Structure 1
Amino acid sequence: MVSENNTISKITWRLMPFLGLLYLIAYIDRQNVSYAKLQMVDALGMSEYAYGLGASLFFIGYFIFEVPANLFLTRFGARIWFARILISWGFVTIALAFTQNMMMFYILRFLLGVCEAGFFPGVLYLLTLWFPKDYRGRMVGLFMIFSALANAIGAPLGGMLLDLDGALGLAGWEWVFLATGVPAVIAGIVTIFYLDDTPEKAKFLSDEEKRWLKDRLAKENEGMEKDADHGFKALINPRVLLMALCYVGFPLAAYGLSYWLPTIVKGFGVSNTTNGFINVIPWLIVAVALWVVPAAADKTEKKTPYIVAPAFIGAIALAASVLVASPYAQFFFLCIAAAGIFAGQPVFWSLPGRFLKGAGAAAGIAAINSVGNLGGFVAQNVVPWINDATGSNILPMFFLAACLAAAGVLVIIVGQMLGHHSDDVPPSARPGGLR
């Protein structure tokens, strides 16, 4: 007889550390501009706003190619497609080290978004193929913990690389891109040999374990919408559109905070390396929250409170960081805000798999993520604009707080529109939910 715990444990240990490592690399490559900015702005003669615009072009390329990339994943398989994503974004990151002018920076940041498109939603889709729904919240949380670790590792790494300024004739910001791009290329090559596309192809599972998982997932998929299997139809599914609208506030707040945290800490009068080590603290707190909140949510059918409560706590903390005078108090509230921004997101991402499957799940998850990540574009343009207009690194937090609070309110409203517990039960079981 197959042991459920043993089977899930085998899958978890095989997949999650590796996928998490890939996400860690991805997140560092996304966020390295926040450290390169400390030298690159002067080196290329750009204003803060112009640099923010260039950094944000990543999200435009990401938005345009997100859905097609995830549909290609269903066609070519995760092993080949993830390898292509990693290798291509690694080479673009390396190319950023040789940026000569503002236009080249803009083009490469756009191409980085094109290359990385499909990775995060691709992993979310992959988890629906490997894990029953009762485990997905925890698995997404575990996966996203690596984004917190990426910030924790990337912070001191970015500071130390900046302090290599002049080594081997390279500027510190050039070292930032070189040192973070090479690991992506190496990881892409490893992916080809390590990753399994589906449980059916996994050599580490026995035939009995494969059958158990296949039967369990098939039973959970009963009653789902038939048209969810057709990829692009998911894009006009009302629930997908509403979830995309809800999600915008989370990346907006997350990218706004992570983009500006190094600048805020620099205002404490510390060195680049010390800045990096101080920035480890909020991401360690985020890592804990990303495990505790999804684990609690997986034990109940009511998911909405585990999305909304962290969002409101994060919004309050962002606002509080503006209202206190002490830099230590500001940093404390920003740590709480970071945890609030991220903690509910894994629970949010456990919901689409409950009404989408197959290529529809790939397209739907990608659509929600691509639209939501436009919040990153907004954050990296509006936040610098507020900074330039007011001369304050703290006032933009008011804007982020308002957006995060709005996201929490939208989650509540959408939950009501979809019907009682509509995010927790299959469509066929809903008496009055949106279909």
Structure 2
Amino acid sequence: MTTMSDQAKVLASAISTSRMRLLPFLILMYILAFIDRANVGYARAFLQADTGLSDAAFAFGASIFFIGYACFEVPSNLMLHRLGAKVWLCRIMVTWGLVSAAMMFADNAMTFYVLRFLLGVAEAGFFPGIILYLTYWFPAQSRAQALGLFYFGLPLALVLGGPLSGWLLEFHGVFGLTNWQWLFVVEGLMASVVGVAAYFYLVNRPRDARWLSEAQKQALEGKLAEEDAQKQGHSPHGFLSALRSGQVMKFCLVYFTIQMSVYGVVFYLPTRIASFLDGQVGLSVGLLTAIPWACALVVTRLVTRHADRTGQHCLLAVAMLTMAAAGIAASALAGSLPLVVIAFCFAAAGFVAVQPLFWTLPTGYLSGAAAASGIALINSLGNLGGFVAPNLKTLMENLFADPRAGMFALAVVGVLGAWLLVRLNPSRPSSTPLKTARVG
């Protein structure tokens, strides 16, 4: 006779095995996604010098990525839900890697705009697809930590991506290519190679995993089915109802403010640090920019583990977003390199940690096709913050004739997001901390 304790142990072992098998590869995919998305910040000075792009043209080109990204998010996630993760995530990574490599041809403003837009189209659905994919594998009792581990890819991308990008920028003139061309080619093709590997490595659902026993498959599939059934009474039914849900719209607005804070830092951290050195982004700047992301790794792991133990995901998200806003404002006020780095440590730790905490809210509310469309809509509309952030920053700087005004504006947006999180009250039966079988 199988006892409840035995079943809990089987479930815990299934979750632990799935986490060890899937998350390292998903983290690698996320690292490459963020490197390809943010490397334009490292290439900026050299790209503008070679092509004559103005600051306004660069800001528009950097941000138009998010228009293409937003337009194709929902259909991409629905395709993943229909075709399976291994096929669709492979397609996404291979195509975005090729487009990213093609950025080497961005020798004028129009080509820069077109390629950045196409990069957004190619990458659309990657991030919400991973979030959806994690709901196929991890019950609510372990999802916060799974999301937190996945988000390690963000700071790791910038811990590793900063020095890598800085190193590639030393390759000026090798084989007739400029340094920024080497940056786009190497980092883009890395993504395509890993995309091919994803097709052979990923498994669509627990029932398809050869590395889970039959008992583990049944325990994991049963728990996930039980949670989906519990959501039916209070969450949208079908993908269209999720798109019309008022609660989903609230999630979108909160995520929009988070993403404005995120990309306000990501795009301008290298430039801000470089201003205290020789003004050029190279290996030394890449190494210094790695420090805030290393801090974010530690804080994110500690905060998500604490959230799972206490169930205070929303409260901790408010605290982390407030800390991020304070760090952004402090980075503008700081007058020395050490203070700027410390300020960015707070900003980076806050906005990285807030994101896995945030995603426990909509994933605890949505299921099935509604989850596919709802998660994609939240991510697509939220990521428009990445389009608005650099343009708002430039506008405020010009309006007030002060280079700090743009960062102050993004800090205010972060505070607004924290206030919206306080007002957010999703129906989440899974928000209480786990009382049985520890899986973390």
Q: What residue is the counterpart of 1:193 in the other structure?
A: 200
- CA drift of 1:391 comes to 6.3
Q: Decide which of 104, 113, 116 is 1:106's aligned counterpart.
A: 113
Separation (CA, whole Å) in 2 of partners of 1:353 and 1:401:
27
Distance of 1:329 and 1:393 partners within structure 2: 17
TM-score, normalised by the number of residues in structure 1? 0.93
2:253 aligned residue (245, 256, 263) = 245
Which of 5, 13, 38 is the equivalent residue of 1:31?
A: 38
Query: Equivalent residue for 1:372?
Result: 382
Q: How does 1:6-405 map to 2 (within 5 A)?
A: 6-225=13-232, 228-270=236-278, 272-387=282-397, 393-405=403-415
Task: Give, in whole Å, the separation in 1 of the partners of 2:199 and 2:266.
Answer: 31
Q: Matched residues in 1 for 2:194 and 2:174: separation?
A: 26
Letter in 1 for 2:290: V
Structure 2 SS opposite 1:284: helix
Whether the 8 Å CA contact 2:333–2:404 is kept in 1: the answer is no
Alpha-carbon contact 2:78-2:369 (below 8 Å) kept: yes
Aligned-partner SS, 1:196:
coil
Q: Is the 8 A contact 1:286 1:338 kept in 2?
A: yes
The superposition leaves residues 156-193 of structure 1 with CA deviations (integer Å, 9 ceiling, x where unpaired) of: 11111111111111101101100101111111111111
CA RMSD of aligned residues (A): 1.6
Aligned letter for 2:98?
F
Q: CA deviation at 1:388?
A: 5.2
Q: CA 1:391–1:17 in structure 2 vs 1: closer, same or farther (change >3 Å)? A: farther
CA contact (8 A) 1:289 1:339 kept: yes
Instruction: Tell me the TM-score normalised to structure 2 length.
Output: 0.92
Q: CA deviation at 1:394?
A: 3.6
State the distance in 2 between where 1:261 and 1:320 align: 13
Letter aligned with residue 222 of structure 2:
D
Q: Give a deviation string over 1:297-332, Cα, whole Å, max 9, x none.
A: 111233211110111122122222333433321221
Deviation per CA, 1:117-154, whole angstroms, max 9, x where unpaired?
11111111111110110111111111011111001111
Amino acid at match of 1:232: L
Return 5+ residue gaps in structure 1 as ranges: 427-435
8 Å Cα contact 2:10-2:219 kept in structure 1:
no
Whether the aligned pair in 2 keeps the contact of 1:58 and 1:110 (CA below 8 Å) is yes
Deviations 1:201-235 (A, max 9, x none): 11111111100011111222223236744112211
The 3 A distance-change label for structure 1 pair 211 and 202 is: same
Work out whether residues 141 and 430 of structure 2, in 8 Å CA contact, stay in contact via their aligned partners in 1. Answer: no
1:257 Cα offset (Å): 0.5
For 1:170, the aligned partner's letter is: L
Tell me, in whole angstroms, the C-alpha distance in 1 between the residues paired with 2:428 and 2:260: 23
In structure 2, relative to structure 1, the CA distance for the partners of 1:424 and 1:400 (3 Å cut) is: farther
CA distance in 1, matches of 2:319, 2:350: 8
Contact kept? 2:74, 2:125, Cα under 8 Å: yes
CA contact (8 A) 2:15 2:220 kept: no
- AA paired with 1:59? F
Q: Secondary structure at the match of 1:292?
A: helix
Cα pair distance change 1:252/1:95, threshold 3 Å: same
What is the CA–CA distance in structure 2 between the aligned matches of 1:15 and 1:21, rounded to whole Å?
10
SS of residue paired to 2:231: coil
Which letter does structure 2 place at the counterpart of 1:43?
Answer: D
Could you say which residue in structure 1 is the equivalent of 2:437? none
Letter in 2 for 1:308: V
8 Å contact from structure 1 (residues 49, 385) kept in 2: no
User: CA contact under 8 A between 1:302 and 1:424: conserved in structure 2?
Assistant: no
Structure 2 Cα separation of the partners of residues 403 and 412 of structure 1: 14
Give the drift of 1:107. 0.6
Shift of 1:425: 5.1
Instruction: Answer yes or no: is the 8 Å Cα contact 2:105–2:111 preserved in 1.
Output: no
The alpha carbon displacement at 1:100 in A equals 2.6
Aligned to 1:432: none
Higher mean C-alpha displacement, 215-224 vs 244-253: 215-224
Paired residue total: 421
Q: In the aligned structure 2, how far is the partner of 1:373 from the partner of 1:95?
A: 23
Q: Runs of 5+ in structure 2 lacking a partner? A: 1-5, 432-440
